């Protein structure tokens, strides 16, 4: 048991890091920043970090005809479209609610996997799907909103539906990769390439819509929130790939529970959010559903095999 403590510590750090990105996003949007501008800087900074990591590993990010289509799929399904919905929903929902909503990714991934024939149903997994969706229903009820802190009041069901658009795209992304692979690229390479394409897509959109974020000082709290979120996503993702290589996909996949739990805790600590009993009921159902629905190989960049990693595949593991 003692020899596993370092790996457990890494898992906790990854969960705490990814969980922190939701309150940081809330700080940025409450400070006035909007979708395309935030997405551009997150992917631009993330690409810089991941390209640096690949350079140190002497593994170039290749842009060829085999890889570009997969980069584009990940850029759209795994970054631009889900973040567009999530950032807008975060303007109207508490960070804790958004953290719970992201736990629905396996709930939406399962039906798509069954349709594509990449996974199999079971009684327990169907039960998990029902529990998870029941948690969503309770979350939209009048007794589940935060009692204090950012976004105090009842949870608006319309914006909750918008928040669920992101998990739908994440679930679709994982299934597409599980079904068709990534053209032979490793997971860090795929994500780095996808971030470059996402930056090229969102920069003109940010300029046209007036949501571009001027990077020149002076910098305020909202700027630090955007920078912190981008750096956390990039470094924690690289850490996740490392952990999969050392401990396997099943062990590393447990980070999904920690991300949601830490997201709620960070929202309480940093934003002062406090929740009604209905929220905790939804939280419990979501965790139970997540436990039962988890596929054999956690969805994400499932088909992306990391070169020289010991017999394992790595998942995207991204959160808003």
Give the pLDDT confidence score for residue 186 in this predicted structure.
84
Reference 175, options 112, 133, 235; nearest CA is 112
User: How many whole angstroms separate alpha carbon 267 and alpha carbon 278?
Assistant: 17
What does the pLDDT look like over 277-317, one tens digit per residue?
Answer: 888 998 999 889 888 886 554 444 433 433 333 322 233 33
User: How many whole angstroms separate alpha carbon 140 and alpha carbon 134?
Assistant: 10
3-class SS shares of the chain: helix, strand, coil, % to 5 = 70, 0, 30
151 Rama sector, left if φ>0, alpha if ψ -120 to 50, beta otherwise: left
User: How many whole angstroms separate alpha carbon 213 and alpha carbon 37?
Assistant: 5
User: How many whole angstroms separate alpha carbon 229 and alpha carbon 28?
Assistant: 10
- Between CA 107 and CA 273, with CA 283 as vertex, the angle to 5 degrees is 125
What does the pLDDT look like over 240-284, one tens digit per residue?
Answer: 888 887 887 668 878 888 999 999 999 999 999 888 888 899 899
The answer to whether residues 14 and 255 touch, using CB atoms and an 8 Å cutoff, is yes
User: How many whole angstroms separate alpha carbon 59 and alpha carbon 91?
Assistant: 39
Helix, strand or coil for residue 313? strand
Give the pLDDT confidence score for residue 276 in this predicted structure.
85
What confidence category does residue 144 fall into, taking pLDDT thresholds of 50, 70 and 90?
A: low
**Rounded percentage of the chain residues whose pLDDT exceeds 90:** 47
Give the pLDDT confidence score for residue 105 in this predicted structure.
86
Give the pLDDT confidence score for residue 147 in this predicted structure.
57
User: How many whole angstroms separate alpha carbon 8 and alpha carbon 160?
Assistant: 33
Task: Summarize the confidence of residues 21-32 as an average pLDDT.
Answer: 95
What does the pLDDT look like over 55-85, one tens digit per residue?
Answer: 998 999 999 888 998 899 999 999 999 999 9
**214, burial (CB in 10 Å: exposed 0-12, middle 13-18, buried 19+):** exposed
Angle between helices 81-90 and 165-180 (to 10 degrees): 160
Distance between start and end Cα atoms, the chain: 33
């Amino acid at each position: 048991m003692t020899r596993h403590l370092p790996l457990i510590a890494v898992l906790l750090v990854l969960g705490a890091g990814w969980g922190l990105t939701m309150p940081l996003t809330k700080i940025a949007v409450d400070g006035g920043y909007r979708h395309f501008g935030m997405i551009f800087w997150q992917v631009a900074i993330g690409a810089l970090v991941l390209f640096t990591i690949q350079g140190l590993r002497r593994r170039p990010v290749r842009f060829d005809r085999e890889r570009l289509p997969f980069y584009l799929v990940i850029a759209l399904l795994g970054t631009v479209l889900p973040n567009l919905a999530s950032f807008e929903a975060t303007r109207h929902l508490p960070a804790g609610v958004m953290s719970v909503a992201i736990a629905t990714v396996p709930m939406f991934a399962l039906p798509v996997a069954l349709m594509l024939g990449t996974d199999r149903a079971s009684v327990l997994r169907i039960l998990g799907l029902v529990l998870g969706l029941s948690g969503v229903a309770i979350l939209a009820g009048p007794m589940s909103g935060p009692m204090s802190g950012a976004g105090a009041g009842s949870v608006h069901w319309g914006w909750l539906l918008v928040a669920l658009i992101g998990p739908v795209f994440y679930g679709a992304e994982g299934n597409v990769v599980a079904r068709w692979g990534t053209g032979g690229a490793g997971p860090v390479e795929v994500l780095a390439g996808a971030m470059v394409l996402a930056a090229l897509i969102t920069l003109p959109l940010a300029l046209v819509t007036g949501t571009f974020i001027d990077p020149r000082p002076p910098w305020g709290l909202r700027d630090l929130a955007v920078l912190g979120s981008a750096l956390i996503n990039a470094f924690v993702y690289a850490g996740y790939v490392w952990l999969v290589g050392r401990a396997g996909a099943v062990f590393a996949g447990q980070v999904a529970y920690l991300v949601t739990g830490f997201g709620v805790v960070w929202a309480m600590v940093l934003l002062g959010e406090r929740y009604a009993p209905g929220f905790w009921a939804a939280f419990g159902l979501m965790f139970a559903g997540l436990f039962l629905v988890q596929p054999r190989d956690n969805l994400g960049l499932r088909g992306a095999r990391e070169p020289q990693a010991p017999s394992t595949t790595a998942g995207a593991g991204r959160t808003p």
